[in-house]
Amino acid sequence: EAGVTQSPRYAVLQEGQAVSFWCDPISGHDTLYWYQQPRDQGPQLLVYFRDEAVIDNSQLPSDRFSAVRPKGTNSTLKIQSAKQGDTATYLCASSFELGEREQYFGPGTRLTVL
Amino acid sequence: GQGVEQPDNLMSVEGTFARVNCTYSTSGFNGLSWYQQREGHAPVFLSYVVLDGLKDSGHFSTFLSRSNGYSYLLLTELQIKDSASYLCAVRDGGYKVVFGSGTRLLVSP
């Protein structure tokens, strides 16, 4: 069984540039999460989906961040006009269903904003 | 507000044990998970608890006290390769998952 895949693995931007992250969850997993993990901190939930519906995006900076999962499978997280404070690893995770005890994480995208 | 707290660092010696503590305050509770994360890698699931008491899973054991908002992960017969960060993650009443900042365990020879 293939795990959660993410791309790109690394991204380096200047402030003000845009970037998109892509995630392919494990097949059959209806719940997908996006986390931001700054260095030496734990993952911080940005948004999560059940199928194509957003369940909670209250921690997503809506003025610059957006996330979609149009067909309930792959997902894209986009940052418009990146800031240095966005420097972090962006992790995607999936679970079989909402409330499942285990989340399966992808390798993450390490973003550096100069 | 919601919060999950863990000590930043923990040191122990190969062959002994280490206890990683976690305290939490959330709106409702639907379980607590522990993950291991190595430097530069994604978190990997270790254990899940939802009922009070000690759950023995061999090398890893977990304890939960819901009334005290407290859990610990106990690692026994430590090996050097157990050196990693250990993350506590609490699922609140709305199924939102809140992670702690992680405890970095260093196992020395």
Q: Do the beta carbons of residue B90 and residue B35 sit within 8 Å?
A: no
> Model confidence at B1, in pLDDT bands (50, 70, 90)?
low
Are B96 and A108 in contact (CB < 8 Å)? no
**Is B69 touching A (CB cutoff 8 A)?**
no
Shortest Cα–Cα distance, A8 to chain B (Å): 15
Shortest Cα–Cα distance, B28 to chain A (Å): 13
Q: List, for residues B41-55, the tens digit of each pLDDT value.
A: 999 999 999 999 999
The pLDDT of A18-36, averaged and rounded, is 96
Tokens 């199928």 belong to residue: A51
Q: How far apart are alpha carbons A22 and A6 in whole angstroms?
A: 6
Q: What is the pLDDT of residue A97?
A: 83
Q: Do the beta carbons of residue A98 and residue A50 sit within 8 Å?
A: yes
Q: What is the pLDDT of residue A40?
A: 87
Q: Name which residue leads in pLDDT, B40 or A18.
A: A18
Q: What is the pLDDT of residue A1?
A: 62
> Cβ-count burial of A71 within 10 angstroms (0-12 exposed, 13-18 middle, 19+ buried)?
exposed
How crowded is residue A17: how many other Cβ atoms within 10 Å of its Cβ? 14
**Is B38 touching A (CB cutoff 8 A)?**
no
Q: Name which residue leads in pLDDT, B94 or A14.
A: A14
Q: Name which residue leads in pLDDT, A114 or B58.
A: A114
